[in-house]
């Protein structure tokens, strides 16, 4: 991998302290879970399980063995080879994903603010496919689907409209089986799903240190079918997590490592990405914040710790805003987060297109994040220092007080600049001549052109019928 220096909040001794504290917390405190089959698997391989209290302790040696089982290189795949995501990133950069779980939609054409529909979700998937720097897509929360099966309808919609890798967030434990069935149908059967898993799964802790039956069921089924897991901890500092950054991140690290252990005892060698969406509690209002300074520091510390101490790829919000609109505050917050998290070395920058603390999404924001990610990659990319990059011959031969405009070296290198997609570099007069359009307006027009011929992907009639039958079964059973 390319050598790219990263910012760090700790020295080597402090890193070792954090790592040892994590192991000690797992071994002496452990976690609580209520999934009998998973607890039996853990006990069989060396964890200490109290089935009455449902407390699981993880000895250090046991944890080190499970961490070692996680593959250090793996891929997340889409329907087409060109959308394959290599971990670690071949250029030492990062992959990105769109927002998951957003419930509200800010329409790019009418500016109407309303609940997400399945039609919006189809557009969201098609847009993500067309944005070069958005790498995989979770689903939003459709308001026009039955609440008990909304996640099943949502996955079907993504499978009909997305060619990139998909991230699945189940809403109930009972829906997991139907989500698996949809994946099998879209892939062409279980064998083909194992060969080319179209999706990875998110499973979440219930901070602090607790896992619902649903959380473990997701791992049991997803890992059992060859899909990667992204174990997610979501502490709110001062609420469901310690108020201090170190304490909140230590809690997340422990919860992610517990999910990692479960993943490996279910299916050794399953790819695993440690994920934490760090929130900070506003003690004056009780509100959770995503883009406060505290949340930013916690998020950066988390990815640094997981990757440096445990050599596990890490994922956190790489964009988003606390603002209720796509405004100047939001631009500052999402740009600060992208640069900080990328500079911390995260493997995945998540949450593209979201605002209002991830409750709402906007296609305009998604396109802006696409451009921010493009620029961020260019900023943190490795520099080389050969004679061409140092302009050595030119510097040695230039006349004192001369110019470089007519140099062959300038002509050779000037096309390598990062050109904006929607950001303007016009003078004020030229900008006024084009209508004085702000960024949001320019992006809305860009989306109109980008999406004018967008539509669902091609699926066989047999696959469509099979997926429709799965939806019907789910509605009959769960609604």
- The per-residue pLDDT for range 273-284, each reduced to its tens digit, is 999 999 999 999
Residue 66 tokens read as 């499970």
Query: In this structure, are strands 55-57 and 48-50 parallel, antiparallel, or unpaired?
Result: antiparallel
pLDDT at 227 (0 to 100) = 96
CA-based nearest residue to 464, from 474, 453, 472: 472
Rounded Cα distance, 80 and 84, in Å? 7
Range of the domain at 173: 67-380
Rounded Cα distance, 264 and 248, in Å? 25
Domain count of the fold of the chain: 1
Q: CATH no. for residue 314? A: 3.20.20.480
Residue 329 tokens read as 């505050």
Is residue 437 a part of any domain in this protein? no
- The per-residue pLDDT for range 5-41, each reduced to its tens digit, is 578 999 999 999 999 999 999 999 999 999 999 999 9
- The per-residue pLDDT for range 103-141, each reduced to its tens digit, is 999 999 999 999 999 999 999 999 999 999 999 999 999
Is residue 412 a part of any domain in this protein? no
Q: In degrees rounded to 5, what are phi and psi of residue 199?
A: -145, 150
* Count of CA atoms in the C-beta half-sphere (13 A) of 167: 28
Residue partners of 296: CB distance under 8 A and separation at least 6? 336, 337, 340
Polymer length of the chain: 479
- What are the angstrom distances between the C-alpha of 459 and each of 179, 185, 187, 463? 18, 11, 10, 6
- The per-residue pLDDT for range 251-307, each reduced to its tens digit, is 999 999 999 999 999 999 999 999 999 999 999 999 999 999 999 999 999 999 999
- What are the angstrom distances between the C-alpha of 331 and each of 306, 319, 327? 28, 10, 6
Is residue 350 a part of any domain in this protein? yes
Rounded Cα distance, 187 and 184, in Å? 5
CA 68 from chain center: how many Å? 23
pLDDT at 3 (0 to 100) = 46
Q: Return the number of other C-beta atoms located less than 10 Å from residue 166's C-beta.
A: 26
Rounded Cα distance, 336 and 246, in Å? 21
Rounded Cα distance, 31 and 301, in Å? 22
Is residue 111 a part of any domain in this protein? yes
DSSP-derived secondary structure letter, 40: H
pLDDT at 416 (0 to 100) = 84
DSSP-derived secondary structure letter, 241: B
Is residue 404 a part of any domain in this protein? no
Judge whether 125 and 146 are in contact, CB under 8 Å: no
In order along its 479 residues, the chain shows pLDDT tens digits of 344 557 899 999 999 999 999 999 999 999 999 999 999 999 999 999 999 999 999 999 999 999 999 999 999 999 999 999 999 999 999 999 999 999 999 999 999 999 999 999 999 999 999 999 999 999 999 999 999 999 999 999 999 999 999 999 999 999 999 999 999 999 999 999 999 999 999 999 999 999 999 999 999 999 999 999 999 999 999 999 999 999 999 999 999 999 999 999 999 999 999 999 999 999 999 999 999 999 999 999 999 999 999 999 999 999 999 999 999 999 999 999 999 999 999 999 999 999 999 999 999 999 999 999 999 999 999 899 999 999 999 999 999 999 999 999 999 999 888 899 999 999 999 999 999 999 999 999 999 999 999 999 999 999 999 999 999 999 999 99
Residue 325 tokens read as 């609109």
Is residue 419 a part of any domain in this protein? no
pLDDT at 255 (0 to 100) = 98
Residue 448 tokens read as 């109109």
Helix ranges restricted to H, 115-268: 118-130, 150-161, 176-187, 190-195, 213-224, 245-266
CA-based nearest residue to 121, from 81, 77, 94, 152: 152
Return the residue matching tokens 């060109």: 82
The packing angle between helices 12-28 and 245-266, to 10°, is 60
pLDDT at 5 (0 to 100) = 58
Is residue 338 a part of any domain in this protein? yes
CA-based nearest residue to 314, from 372, 370, 200, 232: 232
Return the residue matching tokens 């898993």: 197
Q: Return the number of other C-beta atoms located less than 10 Å from residue 442's C-beta.
A: 19
Residue 33, SS3 per DSSP: strand
Return the residue matching tokens 């050969």: 386
Q: In degrees rounded to 5, what are phi and psi of residue 315?
A: -140, 130
**Where on the phi/psi map is residue 300: left (φ > 0), alpha (ψ -120 to 50), or beta?**
alpha
Is residue 281 a part of any domain in this protein? yes
pLDDT at 1 (0 to 100) = 35
């Amino acid at each position: 991998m390319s050598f790219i220096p990263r910012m760090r909040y700790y020295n080597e001794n402090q890193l070792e302290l954090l790592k040892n504290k994590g192991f000690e917390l797992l071994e002496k405190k452990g976690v609580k879970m209520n999934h009998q089959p998973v607890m039996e698997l853990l006990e069989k391989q060396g964890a200490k399980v109290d089935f009455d209290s449902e407390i699981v302790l993880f000895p250090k040696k046991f944890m080190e063995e499970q961490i070692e089982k996680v593959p250090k290189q793996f891929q997340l795949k889409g329907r087409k080879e060109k959308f394959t995501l290599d971990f670690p990133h071949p250029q030492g950069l990062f992959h990105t994903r769109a927002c998951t779980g957003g419930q509200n939609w800010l329409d790019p054409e009418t500016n109407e603010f309303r609940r997400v529909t399945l039609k919006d979700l189809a557009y969201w998937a098609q847009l993500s496919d067309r944005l070069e720097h958005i790498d995989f897509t979770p689903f939003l929360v459709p308001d026009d689907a039955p609440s008990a099966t909304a996640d099943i309808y949502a996955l079907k919609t993504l499978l009909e409209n997305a060619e990139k890798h998909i991230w699945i967030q189940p809403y109930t434990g009972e829906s997991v089986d139907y989500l698996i069935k949809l994946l099998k149908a879209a892939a062409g059967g279980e064998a083909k799903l194992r060969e080319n898993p179209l999706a990875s799964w998110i499973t979440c802790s219930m901070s602090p240190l607790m896992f619902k039956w649903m959380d473990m069921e997701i791992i049991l089924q997803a890992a059992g079918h060859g899909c990667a897991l992204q174990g997610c901890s979501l502490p709110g500092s001062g609420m469901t997590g310690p108020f201090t950054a170190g304490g909140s991140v230590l809690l997340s690290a422990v919860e992610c490592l517990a999910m990692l252990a479960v993943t490996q005892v279910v299916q050794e060698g399953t790819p695993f990405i440690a994920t934490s969406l760090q929130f900070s509690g506003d003690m004056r209002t009780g509100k959770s914040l995503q883009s406060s300074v505290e949340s930013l520091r916690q998020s950066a510390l988390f990815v640094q710790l997981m990757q440096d101490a445990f050599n596990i790829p890490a994922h956190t919000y790489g964009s988003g805003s606390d603002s209720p609109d796509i405004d100047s505050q939001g631009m500052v917050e999402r740009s600060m987060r992208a640069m900080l998290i990328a500079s911390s070395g995260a493997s995945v920058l998540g949450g593209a297109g979201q605002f209002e603390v991830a409750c709402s999404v906007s296609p305009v924001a998604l396109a802006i994040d696409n451009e921010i990610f493009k620029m961020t990659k260019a900023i943190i990319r490795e520099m080389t220092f050969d004679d061409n990059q140092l302009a050595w011959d030119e510097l040695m031969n230039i006349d004192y007080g001369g110019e470089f405009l007519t140099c062959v070296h300038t002509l050779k290198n000037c096309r390598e600049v990062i050109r904006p997609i929607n950001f303007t570099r016009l003078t004020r007069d030229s900008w006024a001549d084009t209508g004085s359009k702000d960024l949001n307006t320019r992006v809305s027009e860009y989306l109109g052109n980008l999406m004018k011929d967008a539509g669902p992907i091609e699926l066989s009639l047999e696959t469509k019928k099979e997926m429709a039958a799965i939806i019907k079964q789910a509605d009959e059973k769960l609604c």
